[in-house]
Amino acid sequence: MVKNKKICVYCGKTGKISNDHIPPKNLFPSPRPSNLITVPSCKECNEKASKDDEYLRLVLFMRSDISDHPEVLKNKAKLQRSLQKPEQQGFRASFLNSLAFVDSHTPAGIYLGKTNAFRVDMKRINNVIKRITRGLFYKEKGRRLPDNYQVCCYIFDILNEHPYSLGILTMKDIITSTLQGKSSTVGDDVFRYWCRFAIDEENSSAMVLSFYNRVNFLALTTPNKITAQN
């Protein structure tokens, strides 16, 4: 199928279209890899997403489980410089307001006292994951996801908190099946994804999105009539 490069993959608008990077190119240190994925996007969708892209990078880099990843270490200095820019004043204030003291425990349950924690706005994270999913759907299918379809996404951290509920077990089965397929990698383990389409429904899919091999999401494209957690 020939890709229509004059249609925004997110909103369907036509007209002046530019390239949008999925995942956000700010996750990749310079020099950036040659296989970055780009999809057609209108200016409004592209600009509207930039702050959420920056928020995703900040949240990922705050995680202790990827703090030693070589690509994160290369990129942290750039993030610090970015946060010092005058135009980032509002972003810095929002970040500081998200810090809180919480109880800290060892894996064995021993209390360690209070520590700083970052309250994550999952709605903003999900906005980025949904956009990436729509972009990957376009990359795989050569067309945008129809408007009567939705993207539902789940971070593995949440799935692991309720391992025995029926819904979680179903999603884990979907994850296992999806991971049996071929994966595609962008950059030096910065981003990797697996994609599996339903046999009897060409627009329904399951994707596993992995950042730095440690932060993982399940994303589903389903008809709007199907109720799912977003």
Q: Give the span between the Cα atoms of 155 and 129, in whole angstroms.
A: 10
The count of domains in the chain is 1
Determine the pLDDT at residue 75: 83
Determine the pLDDT at residue 162: 60
Nearest residue to 83 (alpha-carbon basis) of 63, 57, 60, 65: 57
Query: Percentage of the chain with pLDDT > 90?
Result: 49
Residue with tokens 């036509």: 14
Residue 161 belongs to a domain: yes
Residue 135 belongs to a domain: no
Residue pair 71/212 in contact by the 8 Å Cβ criterion = yes
Domain that holds residue 158: 145-223
More confident residue, 19 or 74: 19
Residue pair 159/172 in contact by the 8 Å Cβ criterion = yes
Beta strands in 23-165 (DSSP E): 37-42, 99-105, 111-118, 149-155
**Burial label, 172 (beta-carbon count in 10 A; 0-12, 13-18, 19+):** middle
C-alpha angle with apex 2: 151 to 129, nearest 5 degrees? 20
Give the contacts of 146 (CB within 8 A, at least 6 positions apart): 203
**H-helix or E-strand containing 53?**
helix 43-62
Determine the pLDDT at residue 111: 58
Residue 219 belongs to a domain: yes
| Strongest mean pLDDT among 92-96, 121-125, 180-184, 221-225 | 180-184
Q: Give the span between the Cα atoms of 132 and 19, in whole angstroms.
A: 13
pTM metric for this prediction: 0.81
Q: What is the pLDDT of residues 31-45, one digit of tens each?
A: 899 999 999 999 999
Determine the pLDDT at residue 2: 45
Residue 31 belongs to a domain: no
pLDDT higher than 80, residue 228: no
Q: 23 phi and psi, to 5 degrees?
A: -65, 175
Residue 211 belongs to a domain: yes
Q: What is the pLDDT of residues 195-207, one digit of tens each?
A: 999 998 999 999 9
Residue 218 belongs to a domain: yes
Give the contacts of 217 (CB within 8 A, at least 6 positions apart): 129, 153, 154, 155, 156, 208, 209, 210
Residue 176 belongs to a domain: yes
Averaged confidence pLDDT in the chain: 83
Determine the pLDDT at residue 62: 81
Q: What is the pLDDT of residues 44-86, one digit of tens each?
A: 999 889 889 988 988 888 888 888 888 888 887 776 666 566 5
Q: What is the mean pLDDT of residues 23-31?
A: 91
Determine the pLDDT at residue 209: 97
Residue 106 belongs to a domain: no
Q: What is the mean pLDDT of residues 211-230?
A: 82
Q: Give the span between the Cα atoms of 205 and 5, in whole angstroms.
A: 22
Q: What is the pLDDT of residues 129-164, one digit of tens each?
A: 999 999 999 999 999 999 999 999 999 887 666 655
